[in-house]
Structure 1
């Protein structure tokens, strides 16, 4: 079909074909190709079912005359069928990827919005074959037969429990776990851990790792080192939000306006724009040294933040916050999980990274609410303004000692391992590459053939088609500029959405102290309790969405609905004619924050799906891009609060919400334009 697209381009140039004829012919060809895939899938499903029926008969006969050797043979036979099923699932997944790429190539070559039309008309039809390829494969019964019978042959023949009694008896056979993972990818099925892990945007390998890689991963993995990375994540988020309830009071005590709290809070984000890049590059060579550097810089920064009160210097306060931002090692924390945690627990580690962030976000303001005291030791003042700095300085000192004693630097031999995105690095897939037939008598040039040479030639002729060229010719991005050039319209829209949600959340959190003091005369403790309660909603909301909502609706549907809910939350937050009330502020804030949290999960899930594989590795990866987009949003939001302060506190709320509303509406419009490419 790539050849056909080239032919169309030539024929249109010479005037042989017109646009209408090209669209009609290409649609017909694509329908035929999808039909071939689906019919082949159904044929192979029937062959698998037939062989499973024969194995079932053997198993029934074995019940009457059990024999250990026969049980072992039968178990291996079921595993072999599981491997064949896995090959078939990988075949469907590969074709789904190919379908997405050919649609993208067609749109790029001719400038049409053909993908939007094709997906909309084919996916929603009652006899949709496109759904068979891109959404589900109808192999649930085959998966169930293999998993149930393997479970029954696992030595629990006297037990009445079965796979339907989960989680009492989880599936333990590796081939069943591999099949389940493949089915989940094809059906977009998810669970709480998976949904939560998506927030980290840590690329999960799509295939089971080879045995050799598993051994290497186990050698590189060190539990205490992973724990130290998660503690670093937690402490940094506490450090970020512990100053939010008191930043306005601290600013006024130094002779500045209360709205300068935006600059105080945002100074950390400004420095993080730069620290994210150099920490990401540093983690190519070491994990221990950047974590040590991060702890020392944060220790110094918090000490400067605390002593600024007695020095009566706003500059020392801001420089201290800048130092705290320069110590942001989130890129290292994310990279450590991606590189050094075995695949079998990487999802849990990613979820731990997000949970640590959420817990730190809730604990920061809560801790600030507890630190309500005032005393002096020698010439140093300890009050609600300075104690957040002193407490965090002590915490980073303790962490630094623990890090020095317990962290184990893993070997940096990642480059020597096969790329996780190289399909030939997996023995199961490599075996299917070498196999001439999945079933006797059926030729199967599904994974590799003479067309590969043509694909490589196409990749050389079209250097911009990085997705289609071979893995070795697709190096990671080497700069922010080269990474930006890899962004398609769909990816740009997802980054805009991420920018919007971080902007809205930062406006809500950073100005909460000033707004609630002006309208409701809330104390620091009341603000801290409000912010802590908001932060504590993160995990329950993700449990509900990850376990329930995401399995009913498509990600793109949840994405659009969440954006609309964020917009509603912003609209409800405005102070109009009627007096501003506590219920209005609290309810609108909860709607905005909870919707933004849901939006973040599905946004990053879609971002990882539509993003170029070249952005899944290297220094300038997708995680860094999303971090930079979010950090820029926070910087601009905090700057907006400071600028709006010049109009007076009575205008602060509406002046800061107006840009949030404009950006949110823009993201909704952009999502509608790219909706059918998020498939």
Structure 2
């Protein structure tokens, strides 16, 4: 297994090697600084000054070469434009073909230049992260703040590739005009909706988007799935073996995701009534809803481990357990047992196979459609979240068959049991188990498929200046600092094997992003789970009205992501959107408090809508940043980044539902304010933590 520095060198364009960041040299300097400080030869101030000067020189070398290459490309384009102008006077088929290929050649060279910039940007972020980790210093915070915001910033040239956009525009326009199917020389500016057909332009656009983190609806939505991608760019992407991909199996995974989310939220409008009918308090609905999340805390771990060996068997087990859980949930009414009700919901939580669904997309879907599959995963979840309450609102009936009661309380259980039985039959006959890799090949893929850490500028503590000897030997990238051969041990490159090992890789930036994810899931769960009790107490809403309200909230997910993905995320940095969304969530919480009488429907609906929508925006940006700042060792294996985020979100839901039940002992009149107070405190804490690590998210 090779270390990052060696892999970085392997991806470099040979003839440009002298112009890349000298990652190996700078890593050695970091080691030398550490030794000099230990023996007292150098002090902290001199080290920071010397390292800053080295970085400035490296960046200047990169930028000057970048400008030189841009000039050469611009010169070639100018000459081709002269030939193009002449061609318009006297069209010639052979000359058109020649010009098209010449423009494509410029496009391929521009693509090489974009890969050059991207690799250097990754190298800069990695060395900054290494320095902070080795010395426990907040150097990245200082360096980015002073360099990136300066009016003559060379750092911005690397990260924003100023000037390349003009070259891309010239190429796009000319290649568009030279398309075979064009009957006239119409400009791309006259037909902005027309999709460019030339593959080189599509490749350039993808590279530019990756470098600037530009996004659209699909990839913004896909960010919610936290499906991690290749860390270092390659001109030709290595795709997952298509033999492992089976469309119907992917569809079954998405159907499992959809049904599980329907199963989660179909009981929300009626959980309080069901609790009352079994002799419990209405606020016990928090435990009823949350018991599913309690079981999911454990099921996420064993399903993640199980997916190392199979995808089919865990999905079959999931369907059987969910079928049984829903039967128990429905029978609890006739058995008059709150215990059976809770056991049924626990069974449903034990059947949560979301870890398998996510893992299948990550491991078995080709790169060319992985973004669409990830977006499908999130869309299925959002649709299930909206359909669950809507379906509950339709199940307003009451009749008996023999001794079994079918009413608004029990029908969610019966309907979901039938749905899981049908799904199980479909799964049994249609799912195709992917070919398992040999252990050796699997280990190789574990090494290659590392998380994108383009934004991973980690922030350490100011003191002590040197970290412990144990951490000094091996950093989160699996590199052994004192190993001059740039080789890392196999053990350091493998995925982590325990929660404890995963926790040791959580840097301050990762912890803050997990806190934010915890916060947004806590706030959303409080809003959704107590909605039935709150609206019944204050507004006397019926079950159908509550169901419509919750369904409308769920239906905002896709439109909001369209707006943010296509527009807002391309106008502002992710860290800016992150902080703004947290502040809006805080405003939504504050506006929800019952302070002035009477508490009105417009106040509740508007505050709930603000909170829910801003939390949805926050989730996409938060998970995008989390994938960048998270260690590459958490990109695969049982204890991966997806599992950690799932556990954080599930734990938030458990605590939120527990808070609702505990607050119920104080009376329904105090339930709203008591449950909102922890939400406000966690939200304010997350805002402060974001401000503390803000510059490390550059």
TM-score surpassing 0.5? yes
CA contact (8 A) 1:233 1:333 kept: yes
d(CA) in 2 for partners of 1:23, 1:461: 18
2:514 counterpart of 1:490: no
Task: Give the structure 1 partner of residue 10 of structure 2.
Answer: none
d(CA) in 2 for partners of 1:399, 1:313: 28
Q: Higher mean Cα deviation, 478-487 or 2-11?
A: 2-11
d(CA) in 1 for partners of 2:377, 2:237: 27
- Pairing of 1:528-607 with structure 2 (within 5 A): 528-607=547-626
CA contact (8 A) 2:133 2:475 kept: no
Task: Give the structure 1 partner of residue 111 of structure 2.
Answer: 86
d(CA) in 2 for partners of 1:56, 1:412: 53
Task: Give the structure 2 partner of residue 623 of structure 1.
Answer: 642
d(CA) in 2 for partners of 1:314, 1:146: 68
2:494 counterpart of 1:475: yes
CA contact (8 A) 2:223 2:620 kept: yes
2:266 counterpart of 1:242: yes
Cα shift readout 1:570-591 (whole Å, capped 9, x = no counterpart): 1111122533221111111111
CA contact (8 A) 1:506 1:634 kept: yes
Deviation at 1:71, TM superposition (A): 5.0
d(CA) in 1 for partners of 2:670, 2:487: 56
Task: Give the structure 2 partner of residue 368 of structure 1.
Answer: 392
2:657 counterpart of 1:638: yes
2:34 counterpart of 1:9: yes
Task: Give the structure 2 partner of residue 27 of structure 1.
Answer: 52
Deviation at 1:59, TM superposition (A): 4.6
Cα shift readout 1:47-73 (whole Å, capped 9, x = no counterpart): 222233344445556667766666555
Deviation at 1:237, TM superposition (A): 0.5
Q: Higher mean Cα deviation, 622-631 or 22-31?
A: 22-31
Q: Higher mean Cα deviation, 171-180 or 97-106?
A: 171-180
Task: Give the structure 1 partner of residue 161 of structure 2.
Answer: 136
Whose RCO is larger (CA < 8 A, sep 6+)?
2
1:520 corresponds, among 513, 534, 539, to: 539
Secondary structure of the 1:579 match is: coil
Cα shift readout 1:327-374 (whole Å, capped 9, x = no counterpart): 111111111211222222211111111111111111111111111110
Secondary structure of the 2:597 match is: coil
Secondary structure of the 1:300 match is: helix
Task: Give the structure 2 partner of residue 666 of structure 1.
Answer: 685
Task: Give the structure 1 partner of residue 339 of structure 2.
Answer: 315
d(CA) in 1 for partners of 2:177, 2:431: 43
Q: Higher mean Cα deviation, 175-184 or 189-198?
A: 175-184
2:126 counterpart of 1:96: no
2:466 counterpart of 1:466: no
- Pairing of 1:318-333 with structure 2 (within 5 A): 318-333=342-357
Cα shift readout 1:421-477 (whole Å, capped 9, x = no counterpart): 7499xxxxxxxxxxxxxxxxxxxxxxxxxxxxxxxxxx9983224265668652122
Deviation at 1:290, TM superposition (A): 1.5
CA contact (8 A) 1:497 1:667 kept: yes
d(CA) in 2 for partners of 1:342, 1:112: 40
- Pairing of 1:35-434 with structure 2 (within 5 A): 35-60=60-85, 71-72=96-97, 74-164=99-189, 168-205=193-230, 214=239, 217-413=241-437, 416=441, 419=445, 422=448
Deviation at 1:670, TM superposition (A): 0.6
d(CA) in 2 for partners of 1:404, 1:278: 21
Secondary structure of the 2:298 match is: helix
Aligned residues between the structures: 645
d(CA) in 1 for partners of 2:233, 2:30: 35
d(CA) in 2 for partners of 1:9, 1:212: 38
Cα shift readout 1:49-104 (whole Å, capped 9, x = no counterpart): 22333444455566677666665554444333333222221221111112112222
RMSD: 2.6
CA contact (8 A) 1:204 1:346 kept: no
Task: Give the structure 2 partner of residue 612 of structure 1.
Answer: 631
Task: Name stretches of at least 5 consecutive residues in structure 1 with no aligned partner.
Answer: 425-458
Secondary structure of the 1:647 match is: coil
Task: Give the structure 1 partner of residue 483 of structure 2.
Answer: none
Q: Does the C-alpha gap of structure 1 residues 350 and 407 become closer, same or farther in structure 2, counting only changes over 3 Å?
A: same
d(CA) in 1 for partners of 2:697, 2:27: 22
Secondary structure of the 1:169 match is: coil
d(CA) in 1 for partners of 2:178, 2:682: 57
d(CA) in 1 for partners of 2:668, 2:140: 48
Q: Does the C-alpha gap of structure 1 residues 154 and 423 become closer, same or farther in structure 2, counting only changes over 3 Å?
A: farther
Deviation at 1:419, TM superposition (A): 3.9
CA contact (8 A) 1:238 1:361 kept: yes
Deviation at 1:323, TM superposition (A): 0.9
Cα shift readout 1:111-138 (whole Å, capped 9, x = no counterpart): 2212111111211111111111123343
d(CA) in 1 for partners of 2:70, 2:237: 32
Secondary structure of the 1:548 match is: helix
Q: Higher mean Cα deviation, 398-407 or 653-662?
A: 398-407
CA contact (8 A) 1:161 1:169 kept: no
Task: Name stretches of at least 5 consecutive residues in structure 2 with no aligned partner.
Answer: 1-25, 451-469, 480-485
Q: Does the C-alpha gap of structure 1 residues 499 and 192 become closer, same or farther in structure 2, counting only changes over 3 Å?
A: same
Q: Does the C-alpha gap of structure 1 residues 337 and 112 become closer, same or farther in structure 2, counting only changes over 3 Å?
A: same
